[in-house]
Structure 1
Amino acid sequence: MWTLYAVGFICALVIALIVTPLIKRLAFLIGAIDKPNERKVHTRIMPRLGGLAIYLAFAAGIFIVYPAISGIDTKLVWGLMLGGTIIVITGALDDRFDLSPRWKLLGQIAAAVAVISFGLDIEMVHLPFVETEVSLGWLSYPITLLWIVGISNAINLIDGLDGLASGVSGIATASILVLSLMMGNITVALLCSVLLGAIIGFMFFNFYPAKIFMGDSGALFLGFSLATLSILEFKQAALVTFIVPIFILGVPLSDTFFAIIRRWVNKKPISVADKNHLHHCLLRLGFSHRTTVLIIYALAAFFGVTAIVLSHAGIWVTIIVTALVLFMITVGAEAIGIINRRRKPILSMLRKIGLKFRILDPREDH
């Protein structure tokens, strides 16, 4: 089985290496390009249809190894492929024609409905302490749909620097792969192995300085895939252990959360783009393009490792670790000014506490 996972990974990687330069030419040919403006970091016209290369490498890798693996959930694989096709077409059309948000949302909903119709949904929740299972019933469908659409857009929001979204997605995919191998989930392990190969192959052309952008076709497809794979791994989730997929996707989810809070605090529409995302803040602090990307990779890896550890931790350990991480995220967000560059209430409170501690320090009496 390990050999087949490796074959799927290598096939997808090689195909991505071959297909990506061809997609780059196609993007220029049909006008699927990204022009620089005041909100963007790049300074020259770039092709932005790279997600199509990731999708083609992923699909080809699946079909190469699929016949040789027994015990795989065929229905869910086909559901993922159908939904992935819909989301890639939606993103590719946006890369070329700049679709309105309404049409993009419609495509995302159609992709989510497609995969849900193949049996993918969060079926029930296990409540801690009382050891009770609660079936979500019809609520499982809107909850699953919101999760898929939300993660798809979260990956899209962090796609602001060369190699950023692809690298973070690759780290999240690797984290889900490790968890699936630990839990013996053959279907998820296969899908993650192939997707990881496709991402790494594409990153040869996408890491700084990028030769091609993944565009909405890539960001939406990777977000859709990660949302789907995380549900496949945790279909019947305990209320506390459901934190695991949230940790895996910690970077895009936290950046999206702070973007919503920032726009609400500053009384701006949620749909209005700005230059205050995590990568923008790090760039303003003086970090280079490459260093900023590597810092966010490290954060994504931290979230991934934490998720893997928490998957086998007890309830109280999970609660305590989650609380500490949330505190550190909040302090870090204020420190870099991701919500507001001037108003930093928690840091102000900590400084006051720190001042009191210094006053009470007996060493200062000598």
Structure 2
Amino acid sequence: MLYLCATLFICFALSVLFTPFVKKLAFAVGATDKPNQRKVHQKIMPRLGGLAIYASFIIGYLILRPWNEDSLYILLGSAIIVVVGILDDIYELPAKIKFLGQLIAAFIVVVIAGVQVTFINLPFGGQLHFGILSIPISIIWIVGITNAINLIDGLDGLAAGVSAIALITISGMALIMGDWFVSSMGFIILGSTLGFLLYNFHPAKIFMGDTGALFLGYMISVLALLGFKNVTFISFVVPVLILGVPISDTFFAIIRRIVKKQPLSAPDKSHLHHCLLRLGYSHRQTVLIIYGMSALFGLVAIILSQAAVWVSMIILAMVILALELIAEKIGLVDTNYRPILKIVRVIRYANGKQN
């Protein structure tokens, strides 16, 4: 444990040391983010910061040397993701090319290494076997989470902070479960991410870019898959809850684009952080609110993993209802999309007439 903590600190220090050099490199190679109507920042920013996170992670891995049969495949997949991210930060790759790179990285881990969810134990007895569907389900999970982290990377420190909270939860639970590989990998990435966050928190000096967002999303999705596969239904939901903020933001973005009849890949300014900014919260307040939401999701995930089945079901129902109400209240789908709030208003109106 002491060795693990020492490695975490080394990764943190290395990330702090590497980031200024990566910042200079970003300007030198043209990996910069220019302001436009969709961006919050007002000046040209370097966006290759994820390279500092990745370099720190690799050194931390070589120091701690966590190992299982999947290690080489995970490292190979992460390298592909980082290369795609670097190229995108410099040249702005087409979405199809980025998606292809993500599919290849996911394929290596899921199909070649065999990291898959093959079945889950159902809450009230029996098992649900996915069979041949375990491959597409696992690939969709990895690609989906990779893009979810990328989608929330819209404010200074947002993706890095949310990823750090998710990593703390995943690594802590893996440590409790005795999974040394997942916990040590998670803590190595955590140290690297926190070191970068010193430069990325508002006002940011550098962005992580797709290099960082795709790498963090990929690694978090793979570690969650490793740590919670082939378990109970409730444990299967745990990683979904841990990543509740990016997953729910992505889910409502899909609903929003369907409602507005827009392509699913169409960019907009209606993500969770955009809605909070429109409500009058400052840049820093918005980020801290979303940090709080992420921490709350992590806490619920931990409680859920220890609770009885019926208690877990009640908690899940409450979380889903709360998410829907928040989405309707802040206009996450559309300002006119308020089905539950409209029902509540009708009930109140009916009660008022009766009284």
- TM-score tier, shorter chain, comes to over 0.9
**CA distance in 2: counterparts of 1:349 and 1:235, whole angstroms:** 38
Aligned residue among 93, 96, 103 for 1:109: 103
Please list every run of 5 or more consecutive structure 2 residues that lacks an aligned counterpart in the other structure.
Answer: none
Question: Post-superposition shift, 1:313?
Answer: 1.3
Q: Matched residue of 1:240: which SS?
A: helix
Question: Which residue number in structure 2 is paired with residue 3 of structure 1?
Answer: 2
Question: Post-superposition shift, 1:75?
Answer: 2.1
What is the number of residues matched between the two proteins?
354
Question: Which residue number in structure 1 is paired with residue 86 of structure 2?
Answer: 92
The letter for the 2-side match of 1:6 is: C
Are the aligned partners of 2:234 and 2:305 in contact in 1 as well (CA < 8 Å)? no
Question: Post-superposition shift, 1:356?
Answer: 4.1
Are the aligned partners of 2:229 and 2:236 in contact in 1 as well (CA < 8 Å)? no
Question: Which residue number in structure 2 is paired with residue 60 of structure 1?
Answer: 59
Aligned residue among 314, 321, 344 for 1:320: 314
| Equivalent residue runs for 1:24-35 within 5 Å | 24-35=23-34
Q: Matched residue of 1:338: which SS?
A: coil
**CA distance in 2: counterparts of 1:232 and 1:359, whole angstroms:** 56
Question: Which residue number in structure 1 is paired with residue 243 of structure 2?
Answer: 249
Q: TM-score, normalised by structure 2?
A: 0.97
Aligned residue among 227, 233, 244 for 1:239: 233
Question: Post-superposition shift, 1:352?
Answer: 2.4
Question: Which has the larger displacement, 136-145 or 285-294?
Answer: 136-145
Question: Which residue number in structure 2 is paired with residue 38 of structure 1?
Answer: 37
Aligned residue among 68, 75, 78 for 2:69: 75
**CA distance in 2: counterparts of 1:171 and 1:358, whole angstroms:** 44
Deviations, residues 41-60 of structure 1 (Å, cap 9, x unaligned): 00000000111111111111
**CA distance in 2: counterparts of 1:316 and 1:90, whole angstroms:** 44
**CA distance in 2: counterparts of 1:172 and 1:47, whole angstroms:** 25
The letter for the 2-side match of 1:16 is: S
**CA distance in 2: counterparts of 1:118 and 1:343, whole angstroms:** 43
**CA distance in 2: counterparts of 1:119 and 1:14, whole angstroms:** 34
Please list every run of 5 or more consecutive structure 1 residues that lacks an aligned counterpart in the other structure.
Answer: 67-71, 362-366
Residue 33 to residue 355, structure 1, CA distance change in 2 (3 Å): same
Question: Which residue number in structure 2 is paired with residue 340 of structure 1?
Answer: 334
Question: Which residue number in structure 2 is paired with residue 51 of structure 1?
Answer: 50
**CA distance in 2: counterparts of 1:59 and 1:104, whole angstroms:** 22
Residue 135 to residue 98, structure 1, CA distance change in 2 (3 Å): same
Question: Post-superposition shift, 1:125?
Answer: 1.4
Q: TM-score, normalised by structure 1?
A: 0.94
Aligned residue among 194, 199, 205 for 2:188: 194
Are the aligned partners of 1:152 and 1:219 in contact in 2 as well (CA < 8 Å)? yes
Question: Which residue number in structure 1 is paired with residue 151 of structure 2?
Answer: 157
Q: Matched residue of 2:341: which SS?
A: helix
Question: Post-superposition shift, 1:259?
Answer: 0.3
Q: Matched residue of 2:231: which SS?
A: strand
Question: Which residue number in structure 2 is paired with residue 284 of structure 1?
Answer: 278
**CA distance in 1: counterparts of 2:272 and 2:80, whole angstroms:** 29
Question: Which has the larger displacement, 312-321 or 165-174?
Answer: 312-321
> CA RMSD of the aligned region, Å?
1.3
Question: Which residue number in structure 2 is paired with residue 364 of structure 1?
Answer: none
Q: Matched residue of 2:107: which SS?
A: helix
Question: Post-superposition shift, 1:177?
Answer: 1.2
**CA distance in 1: counterparts of 2:191 and 2:220, whole angstroms:** 14
Question: Post-superposition shift, 1:319?
Answer: 1.1
1:22 aligns with 2:40: no
| Equivalent residue runs for 1:209-288 within 5 Å | 209-288=203-282
**CA distance in 1: counterparts of 2:119 and 2:297, whole angstroms:** 25
Are the aligned partners of 1:208 and 1:290 in contact in 2 as well (CA < 8 Å)? yes
The letter for the 2-side match of 1:90 is: V
Are the aligned partners of 2:234 and 2:304 in contact in 1 as well (CA < 8 Å)? no
Question: Post-superposition shift, 1:343?
Answer: 3.4
**CA distance in 1: counterparts of 2:339 and 2:9, whole angstroms:** 49
Question: Which residue number in structure 1 is paired with residue 115 of structure 2?
Answer: 120
Question: Post-superposition shift, 1:137?
Answer: 3.0
Question: Which has the larger displacement, 350-359 or 92-101?
Answer: 350-359
Question: Post-superposition shift, 1:141?
Answer: 1.4
**CA distance in 1: counterparts of 2:7 and 2:130, whole angstroms:** 35
**CA distance in 2: counterparts of 1:273 and 1:323, whole angstroms:** 30
Q: Matched residue of 2:234: which SS?
A: coil
Question: Which residue number in structure 2 is paired with residue 144 of structure 1?
Answer: 138
Q: Matched residue of 2:317: which SS?
A: helix
Deviations, residues 134-173 of structure 1 (Å, cap 9, x unaligned): 4333322111111000000001110000000000000000
